[in-house]
Amino acid sequence: MPTYSALTTLAGQDSARALGEAMEKLTPEPSGVGVFEIEDGSGRWEVGGYFTDPPDEAALALLAAAFGARPFSVSELPEVDWVAHVKRELSPVVAGRFFVHGSHDADKVPMGSVGLLIEASMAFGTGHHGTTLGCLQALEALLQEGFAARSVADIGCGTAVLAMAAARVFPNPVIASDIDPVAVEVARANVAANALKGRVSCIEAAGFEHPLIAGAAPFDLVFANILKGPLIELAPRMRHHMQPGGIAILSGILNEQAGEVVAAYADQGYDLRRSESIGEWTTLVLDRTAR
pLDDT, tens digit only, all 291 positions of the chain:
678 889 999 998 889 989 999 998 999 998 888 888 876 677 889 999 888 889 999 999 999 999 999 999 998 876 655 445 445 445 678 888 998 887 777 677 788 889 888 864 443 444 445 788 899 999 999 999 999 999 999 999 988 999 999 999 999 999 999 988 888 888 999 999 999 999 999 999 988 989 999 999 999 999 999 888 889 999 999 999 999 999 999 998 889 999 999 999 999 999 999 999 988 889 999 999 876
CATH number of 3-77: 3.30.70.260
Report pLDDT for 287.
Answer: 95
- Distance, in Å, from the CA atom of 96 to the CA atom of 198, rounded to the nearest integer, reads 25
Phi, psi of 97 (to 5 degrees): -80, -10
Q: Which helix (H) or strand (E) holds 132?
A: helix 130-144
Euclidean distance between the first and the last CA atom of the chain, given in angstroms as a whole number: 63
Report pLDDT for 89.
Answer: 46
Name the segment(s) of the chain with CATH classification 3.40.50.150.
125-288
- Is the pTM higher than 0.95? no
In terms of CATH architecture, what is 125-288? 3-Layer(aba) Sandwich (3.40)
Report pLDDT for 121.
Answer: 47
Report pLDDT for 79.
Answer: 63
Name the segment(s) of the chain with CATH classification 3.30.70.260.
3-77
Report pLDDT for 136.
Answer: 94
Closest CA to 226 of 153, 145, 147, 122: 153
- Distance, in Å, from the CA atom of 61 to the CA atom of 69, rounded to the nearest integer, reads 9
Give all strands of the β-sheet with 93-95 in edge-to-edge order: 93-95, 98-101, 114-117
